[in-house]
Amino acid sequence: MRSLKPGDLHAAGEPLNLAAHGSFWTGIERKATPGGTIVAGQAYVEYFIPSALTRPWPILMLHGGGGQGLDYLGTPDGREGWAKYFVRQGYAVYVMDRPGHGRAPFHPDALGEMTPPGTFELLSALFTNPGARPEAYPQARLHNQWPGPGTVEDPLLEAFIAGTGPAQKDMAASHLAAQKAGAEALDKIGPAILMTHSAAGPCGWMIADARPHLVKALVAVEPFGPPFTGMSADPTTLPYGLTAAPLTFDPPLAQGEALSSVERPAPGADLKACRVQAEPARALPNLQGYPIVVVTAQASWMAADNHGTVDVLRQAGADVEHVRLEDQGVLGNGHALMLERNSDACAAVIERWIAGKLETP
């Protein structure tokens, strides 16, 4: 495990040359409370514009779960994160703290009831030391890229947990708030590449649904799923298949009409059966017209079910690919791949996909 010494952070590598660095807010609403009018639904967006801006489209990054934008800014062991990786590749990068996370403050008066904070025990099992309980999913035995031991005593796990927090308990409200904030961000930024991780996956589908003309490509890194059930066995957790809040379907759903689903058998060993739309499937017209990729790590719990999201997107007419990191020679990653030892190798797979889709080789 790498440990930082005095001065390390001041001599971390080549200078990051920026033409601009700043921030702005989106998604702001005014909400009346007994004590007066407050702000609700705001998202914080920090941007990094390289001096050598060589890529034509910026990237808007949305973090997952109880995390925040800093998940893209650096790793628990002190290395540069994906935001700076892509800046160094010539992209303008915009990093969002979704409503209620990080620098976009959470208060129940503004956003409603919150979930409990993540525990050392839970987050270790899900993110940093899943091999300690391989019965959870077979791929856990392959996890070896967390930069520390990953146990509850690990100081790097502690650093990761320090940046996590609660989330809105009302998932549909959370998806709608992120949609508003993300759509307004694209209105400011212009056409861009959307990049999401984990629980931001549904937010990305929602934002793209609201601003399809401003999406050049959508990179969904281990998007929350599987469709309809999420991480539960309840097929109504994500009533719109990919999201808890409404998407634009063709033919449209009638008021109060549920999206019908059926279970599709697991397509192979160590994979799970997932739900898809009952045929004839409804199209998602606003998730069409640009390339989409679902990126899955070898040793994540989502390695067993991310194919379900790909299946539902294809049913709905999206141009989607499924990139499994092990097929690209990148091995051993868990769900928090942007924080792990080989985070740059993971980012390089994504950057090659983007360049192949949006730029002339």
- Active site (catalytic) residues: 198
Q: Which two tokens stand for residue 139?
A: 């791929």
Q: Which two tokens stand for residue 302?
A: 């989502």
Query: Considering only CA atoms, which of 127, 23, 109 is closest in space to residue 66?
Result: 127
**In sequence order, what are the residues at sequence separation of 6 or more whose Cβ sits closer than 8 angstroms to the Cβ of residue 94?**
45, 46, 47, 48, 58, 59, 60, 61, 185, 189, 192
**In sequence order, what are the residues at sequence separation of 6 or more whose Cβ sits closer than 8 angstroms to the Cβ of residue 338?**
71, 72, 75, 81, 82, 197, 221, 346, 347
Q: Which two tokens stand for residue 213?
A: 């003309």
User: Do β-strands 43-50 and 36-40 pair in parallel, antiparallel, or remain unpaired?
Assistant: unpaired
Counting beta carbons within 10 angstroms of the beta carbon of residue 195, is it exposed (0 to 12), middle (13 to 18) or buried (19 or more)? buried
Query: Considering only CA atoms, which of 156, 158, 166, 133 is closest in space to residue 65?
Result: 166
